[in-house]
Amino acid sequence: MSAAPRDVLKSWLSSRLPEAAADWLNDRAAAITAGDRKALYLAFGLAVRKTGKAELSLSAEELAAAEQARPGWNASSWSIDQAARVFLVLHYPSTDADDFRKTLDQMFATGEVHELVALYQALPLFPHPELFVERAAEGIRSNIRAVFLAVAHNNPFPAEQFSDDQWNQMVLKALFIGVALDPIVGLDRRANAELARILLDYAHERWAAKRPVSPELWRCVGPATNAEGIADLRKVLDSELATDREAALLALSASSLPAAQTALTEENQSAVTDPAVRATRWRQLAASVSN
């Protein structure tokens, strides 16, 4: 049986923290396990003063342990104070689901920037995930970029829990505030016709304003679009920018519409049929446009 997330966190923390800080954390965790809500609030706020803010810099084995404890959990960008804070939260009793949600709600409502990032990143580790869907959607509405990213990037929670409407808002907002789509977990799997329509409208609006359109946008259009989208993708296939042409090729390759095949054939391109290869090339594309 694989370890629980809080045990995984404990091993990361104990191998990195000085003994006094680790002892403090374990002592606070014991108080929190007993259901002491005030102890949780205070320790959660104070944690950074005990741990500092170093990067966790997890090894490949440690990242694998996280994946095993909770599929999709990616703590590669976490810092040590974030791990400590989540470690503390995961000790609060969750048998009474309503009490657990209320306790967490108060922490979200009064959170400082770093605290909010730690909490939103930890959404996939909380028991009763269905109670936190609205909270995650609230994180997507945040005006604080780091908070938005804590939900949207490297976090399996949205793909697992969001409705199509919530999902579509997240993807559109990511484009709108200019952050990469590739780190959104489940991007290809959650493609849907409504999102494709929204993104086509958005691309047309950008074109009308003579503003650039992120090539990543087409990744969510290709698998789910209609004839209109295929016509737009044909235009993008003729773009002056190599990154646009690559995006259009990959997007058309993901479409099951005969028109997509026709477009590729007429432009002397052959489809990239393997979804895994497409995903790799999308990742490379995202990296090249963000630099």
CA–CA separation, 175 and 248 (whole Å): 17
- Binding flag, residue 42, another protein (CB under 8 A): yes
Applying CB under 8 A, among 2, 76, 110, 163 the residue interacting with another protein is 110
144 versus 242: smaller Cβ distance to another protein: 144
* From candidates 22, 39, 74, 81, binder to another protein by CB under 8 A: 81
User: CA 176, CA 180: separation in Å to the nearest integer?
Assistant: 10
Q: Which H or E element spans position 279?
A: helix 275-290
Pairwise CA distance, residues 163 & 259, whole Å = 29
Q: Which is nearer to another protein, 154 or 226 (CB)?
A: 154
Residues numbered 22-41 forming contacts with another protein, rule: CB under 8 A: 41
Among 1, 109, 209, 227, binds another protein (CB under 8 A): 109
- Measured from the CB atom, is 113 or 277 closer to another protein? 113
In whole angstroms, how close is the CB of 3 to another protein at the nearest point? 25
- Secondary structure letter of residue 178 according to DSSP: T
Contact 89, 122 (CB under 8 A): yes
Among 19, 61, 143, 208, binds another protein (CB under 8 A): 143
Of residues 100 and 120, the one with the C-beta less far from another protein:
120
The Cα–Cα gap between 53 and 113 comes to: 14
Q: Does 291 bind another protein (CB under 8 A)?
A: no
Per CB under 8 A, the list member of 53, 102, 128, 283 interacting with another protein is 53
What's the sign of the alpha-carbon dihedral 185, 224, 171, 140? Answer: negative
114 binds another protein (CB under 8 A): yes
Count the site residues for another protein by CB under 8 A: 29
Angstrom distance (rounded) from CA 113 to CA 134:
19
- How far apart, in whole angstroms, are the C-alpha atoms of residue 96 and residue 77? 31
Nearer to another protein, 180 or 198 (CB): 180
Q: Binding pattern to another protein, positions 169-208, x when CB under 8 A?
A: --------xxx-----------------------------
All residues at 6 or more sequence positions from 263 whose CB lies less than 8 Å from its CB, including other chains: 230, 233, 234, 237, 252
113 binds another protein (CB under 8 A): yes
Residue 80 vs 254, nearer CB to another protein: 80
Angstrom distance (rounded) from CA 134 to CA 282: 30
* Total length of the chain: 291
* CA torsion, ordered 172, 154, 221, 145, to nearest 10 deg: 20
- Exactly one of 30, 97, 146, 242 binds another protein (CB under 8 A); that residue is 146
Closest CB to another protein among residues 161, 243: 243
The residues of the shown chain that bind another protein, judged by CB under 8 A, are 41-42, 45-46, 48-49, 53-55, 77, 79, 81-82, 109-117, 143-146, 177-179
